[in-house]
Protein backbone atom coordinates (compact mmCIF):
# COMPACT_ATOMS: atom_id res chain seq x y z
CA UNK A 1 0.00 0.00 0.00
CA UNK A 2 1.46 3.36 -1.01
CA UNK A 3 1.29 6.29 1.41
CA UNK A 4 1.49 9.82 -0.03
CA UNK A 5 3.30 12.66 1.68
CA UNK A 6 3.47 16.40 1.00
CA UNK A 7 6.90 17.93 1.62
CA UNK A 8 6.79 21.70 1.68
CA UNK A 9 9.07 24.67 2.23
CA UNK A 10 11.73 23.21 -0.05
CA UNK A 11 14.58 25.39 -1.19
CA UNK A 12 13.83 26.29 -4.82
CA UNK A 13 17.29 25.02 -5.84
CA UNK A 14 16.75 21.55 -4.27
CA UNK A 15 16.64 18.65 -6.72
CA UNK A 16 14.71 15.38 -6.79
CA UNK A 17 18.00 13.49 -6.35
CA UNK A 18 18.91 15.47 -3.22
CA UNK A 19 15.48 14.94 -1.69
CA UNK A 20 15.44 11.25 -2.62
CA UNK A 21 18.88 10.82 -1.06
CA UNK A 22 17.61 12.29 2.22
CA UNK A 23 14.36 10.31 2.28
CA UNK A 24 15.81 6.94 1.26
CA UNK A 25 17.62 6.76 4.60
CA UNK A 26 14.21 6.17 6.22
CA UNK A 27 12.81 3.41 4.01
CA UNK A 28 11.55 2.49 0.56
CA UNK A 29 10.61 5.53 -1.56
CA UNK A 30 8.42 4.64 -4.54
CA UNK A 31 8.08 8.11 -6.01
CA UNK A 32 9.68 11.50 -5.37
CA UNK A 33 8.51 14.44 -7.45
CA UNK A 34 9.34 18.10 -6.82
CA UNK A 35 6.50 20.03 -8.44
CA UNK A 36 7.56 22.45 -11.16
CA UNK A 37 5.83 25.54 -12.53
CA UNK A 38 4.56 24.58 -15.98
CA UNK A 39 5.67 27.85 -17.59
CA UNK A 40 9.08 28.51 -16.01
CA UNK A 41 9.96 24.89 -15.12
CA UNK A 42 11.26 26.15 -11.77
CA UNK A 43 10.45 24.44 -8.49
CA UNK A 44 7.31 25.55 -6.68
CA UNK A 45 8.99 24.69 -3.36
CA UNK A 46 7.11 21.49 -2.57
CA UNK A 47 7.11 17.81 -3.47
CA UNK A 48 4.81 14.82 -3.55
CA UNK A 49 6.35 11.60 -2.27
CA UNK A 50 5.03 8.06 -2.16
CA UNK A 51 6.46 5.59 0.32
CA UNK A 52 5.98 1.85 0.65
CA UNK A 53 4.22 1.69 4.02
CA UNK A 54 2.78 3.60 6.98
CA UNK A 55 5.83 2.91 9.17
CA UNK A 56 8.17 4.61 6.67
CA UNK A 57 5.78 7.54 6.23
CA UNK A 58 5.48 8.11 9.96
CA UNK A 59 9.24 7.84 10.48
CA UNK A 60 9.83 10.47 7.76
CA UNK A 61 7.11 12.75 9.14
CA UNK A 62 8.33 12.61 12.73
CA UNK A 63 12.08 12.71 12.13
CA UNK A 64 12.28 15.15 9.21
CA UNK A 65 9.44 17.61 9.93
CA UNK A 66 11.17 20.89 10.81
CA UNK A 67 14.63 19.61 9.82
CA UNK A 68 16.73 22.15 7.95
CA UNK A 69 17.28 20.89 4.39
CA UNK A 70 19.22 23.10 1.98
CA UNK A 71 18.76 25.99 4.42
CA UNK A 72 14.99 25.73 4.96
CA UNK A 73 12.95 23.78 7.56
CA UNK A 74 10.87 21.04 5.95
CA UNK A 75 7.11 20.83 6.44
CA UNK A 76 5.81 17.28 6.06
CA UNK A 77 2.17 16.18 6.06
CA UNK A 78 0.11 13.27 4.81
CA UNK A 79 -1.68 13.78 1.49
CA UNK A 80 -5.31 12.73 1.43
- Vertex 49 angle, CA 38 and 67, to 5°: 105
Give per-residue pLDDT as tens, 15-50. 999 999 999 999 999 999 999 999 999 999 999 999
**Residue range 53-61: mean pLDDT, rounded:** 96
- Residue 47: the pLDDT is 98
Instruction: Go through the domains of the chain in sequence order and give each one's CATH number.
Output: 3-78 (3.30.70.330)
Longest pairwise C-alpha distance within the chain: 37
Q: Which residues are registered as beta bridge partners of 51?
A: 3, 29
What's the whole-model pTM score?
A: 0.91
Amino acid sequence: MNISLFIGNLNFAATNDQLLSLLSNYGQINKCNIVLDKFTLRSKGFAHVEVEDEETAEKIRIELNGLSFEGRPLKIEYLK
